[in-house]
């Protein structure tokens, strides 16, 4: 049986550039900010407001997500590195304008070395509050009101690359997709997939979210929510929290493709290897869900939503390249994506030294 790793072990495992902890008793703010790498540019990554069970769990989430952001930026060929902020607490009970402004002041202290934006528990409206204290926010200048829409577009391009690879045809019309999560990205993705003519099976722990997509798009609801793993489908599309491909869920899968917007879908890298062994094509999450990041970067660089959508289309080609190398070398796609990202980060380190 595995024992939980302590903070020192976790930091040693992910080897980030910096880890910062801040608290503000006046507002109740408790936050960790991780800068994984600035080799390609300033660290960027959303802020997650979540009721973590412990500091170790919060730290591990921040470390994983910051590393994924470094890899995401490298694969998307963006001039930014990876970082992540997590705020420990229940946003439904503890999020206040004062707390958000206190957090924004922490972000401001980095003077541009760390830039942040939306994630679980942090909305576009929250960014408007934070703008009073810091300018280092992606998605706050109005390139697109909601980065989730661009993320969803990217996932559609990624799914088409998956279907092209597995079935020799990128069309989603008539294909059965099991979507886990009908939240921000999930809603927009379901809308786009319905327009593509896909058959949609959807699960979510939020009954209201299910009622909305069922009413608007005629999806079939899967209950209980955990039954989504075993439904027969062409593609399982995770759009909720991470770690959902694990020892328990992996044997239940009844699909040819796993591709969705959730971060850190693999509980551990070995689960990606198992998907490969089972003949299930996995789209590395930080490649397929990069649309929101791409839009956020356009916001920071003064670009446009049209430019963001154009850049997001490139997810299709990036995944095709990864899948081809995977087929040729017999490596799982997530291993190929990690290797490409790490090579780019090392090359930039060499140029800088």
Domain containing 125 — which CATH number?
Answer: 3.40.50.10860
CB atoms within 10 A of CB 260: 29
- How many other C-beta atoms are found inside a 10 Å radius of the C-beta of residue 270? 11
Structural contact between residues 15 and 22, judged by C-beta atoms closer than 8 angstroms: no
Average pLDDT over residues 201-226: 96
Question: Quick one: how far is CA 140 from the chain centroid?
Answer: 19
Using a pLDDT cut of 90, give the percent of the chain over it.
80
Q: Mean pLDDT across the stretch 112-129?
A: 91
Residues 124 and 259 occupy one common structural domain: no
Average pLDDT of span 215-242: 96
pLDDT band at 144 (very low <50, low <70, confident <90, very high): low
**CA diameter of the chain:** 58
User: Are 212 and 263 part of one and the same domain?
Assistant: yes
Give the Cα separation of 81 and 205 in Å (integer).
Answer: 33
The verdict on residue 254 lying in a domain is: yes
DSSP E strands, the chain: 18-24, 29-37, 43-44, 47-50, 81-88, 114-115, 176-180, 199-203, 220-221, 235-238, 257-258, 281-282
Stretch (H or E) spanning 151: helix 147-167
Same domain, 157 and 120: no
pLDDT of residue 299: 78
- Can you tell me the mean pLDDT for 273-279? 97
Same domain assignment for residues 195 and 321: yes
Does the structure show a pLDDT above 80 at 143? no
Over residues 219-225, mean pLDDT: 96
187 is a domain residue: yes
Query: What value does the mean pLDDT take over residues 282-288?
Result: 96
- pLDDT greater at residue 143 or residue 304: 304
Q: State the chain's mean pLDDT as an integer.
A: 93
Of 12-21, 170-179, 255-264, 342-351, the range with the lowest mean pLDDT is 342-351
Task: Tell how far CA 143 is from the center of its chain.
Answer: 20
Does residue 51 sit in the same domain as residue 25? yes
Confidence (pTM): 0.86
Helices (H) and strands (E) in the chain, counts: 14, 12
Cα 130 from chain centroid (whole Å): 22
Range of the domain at 63: 7-68+81-130
Is 20 a member of any domain?
Answer: yes
DSSP string, 59-124: HHHHHHHHHHHHHHHHHTT-S-EEEEEEEES-HHHH--HHHHHHHHHHHHHTTTSEEB--BTTB-H
Please check whether residues 255 and 296 belong to one and the same domain: yes
CA dihedral (35, 38, 40, 44) in degrees, to 10, reads: 40
Q: Is there a contact between 225 and 249 (Cβ–Cβ < 8 Å)?
A: no
The answer to whether position 135 is within a domain reads no
User: 288 and 329 share a domain?
Assistant: yes
Report, as an integer, the average pLDDT of 301-310: 84
Query: Which positions ≥6 away from 51 have C-beta within 8 Å?
Result: 88, 89, 90
Per the CB < 8 A criterion, the answer to whether 251 and 34 are in contact is: no
Q: What token pair was written down for 52?
A: 């973590």
Indicate whether 155 belongs to any domain: yes
Do 298 and 200 share a domain, yes or no? yes
Identify which has the larger pLDDT, 149 or 232. Answer: 232
Average pLDDT on 34-43 reads: 95
Check whether the bond before 173 is cis (ω within 30° of 0): no
Same domain membership, residue 238 and residue 163: yes
Look up 30 and say whether it is catalytic. no
Residues 85 and 155 placed together within one structural domain of the fold: no
What pLDDT, on the 0 to 100 scale, is given for residue 140?
60
Please give the backbone phi and psi of residue 96, each rounded to the nearest 5 degrees, phi first.
-135, 160
User: What's the pLDDT at 2?
Assistant: 43
What pLDDT does 351 receive? 65
- For residue 4, what pLDDT is reported? 56
| pLDDT grade for 231, boundaries at 50, 70 and 90 | very high
- Per-residue burial over 309-327, b if 16 or more Cβ lie within 10 Å, else e, is bebbebbbebbbbbbebbe
Which one of the listed residues 84, 184, 199, 256 is annotated catalytic?
Answer: 84
Report yes or no on 286 lying in a domain: yes
Provide the number of structural domains found in the chain. 2
Angle between helices 314-329 and 147-167 in degrees, nearest 10: 40
Residue 350 counted as domain residue:
no
How far, in Å, CA of 205 to CA of 187, rounded? 14
Backbone region of residue 92 per phi and psi (left: phi > 0; alpha: psi in -120 to 50; beta: other values): alpha
Whether residue 126 sits in one domain with residue 232: no
CATH at 238: 3.40.50.720
**Does residue 218 carry a pLDDT above 50?**
yes
Is residue 192 predicted with pLDDT exceeding 80?
yes
Cα–Cα distance measured from residue 120 to residue 324, given in angstroms and rounded to the nearest whole number: 33
Contacts of 324 (CB under 8 A, 6+ apart): none
- Domain assignment present for residue 260? The answer is yes
Q: In terms of domains, do 213 and 306 share one?
A: yes
Helix (H, G, I), strand (E, B) or coil at 140: coil
């Amino acid at each position: 049986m595995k024992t939980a790793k302590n903070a020192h072990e976790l930091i040693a495992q992910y080897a980030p550039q910096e880890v910062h902890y801040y608290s503000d008793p006046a507002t109740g703010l408790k936050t960790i900010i991780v800068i994984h790498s600035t080799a390609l540019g300033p660290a960027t990554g959303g802020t997650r407001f979540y009721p973590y069970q412990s500091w170790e769990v919060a730290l591990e989430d921040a470390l994983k997500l910051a590393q994924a952001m470094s890899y995401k930026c490298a694969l998307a060929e963006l001039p930014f590195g990876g970082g992540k902020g997590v705020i420990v607490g229940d946003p439904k009970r503890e999020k206040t304008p004062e707390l958000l402004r206190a957090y924004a002041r922490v972000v401001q202290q980095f003077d541009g070395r760390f830039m942040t934006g939306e994630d679980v528990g942090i909305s576009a409206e929250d960014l408007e509050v934070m703008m009073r204290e810091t300018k280092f926010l992606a998605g706050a200048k109005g390139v697109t009101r909601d980065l989730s829409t661009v993320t969803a577009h990217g996932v559609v391009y990624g799914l088409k690359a998956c279907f092209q690879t597995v079935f020799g045809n990128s069309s989603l019309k008539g294909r059965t997709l099991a979507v886990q999560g009908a939240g921000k990205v999930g809603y927009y993705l379901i809308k786009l997939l319905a327009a593509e003519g896909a058959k949609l099976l959807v699960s979510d722990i939020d009954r209201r979210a299910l009622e909305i997509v069922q009413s608007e798009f005629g999806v079939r609801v899967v209950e209980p929510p955990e039954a989504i793993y075993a439904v027969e489908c062409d593609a399982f599309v995770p759009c909720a929290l991470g770690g959902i491909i694990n020892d328990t869920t992996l044997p239940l899968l009844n699909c040819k493709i796993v591709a969705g917007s959730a971060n850190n879908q693999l509980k551990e890298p070995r689960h990606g290897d198992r998907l490969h062994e089972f003949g299930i094509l996995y789209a590395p999450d930080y490649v397929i869900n990069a649309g929101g990041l791409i839009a956020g970067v356009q916001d920071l660089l003064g670009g446009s939503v049209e430019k963001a959508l154009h850049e997001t289309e490139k997810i299709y080609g990036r995944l095709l390249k990864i899948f081809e190398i995977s087929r040729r070398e017999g490596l799982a796609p997530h291993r190929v994506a990690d290797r490409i990202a790490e090579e780019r980060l090392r090359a930039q380190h060499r140029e800088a030294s």
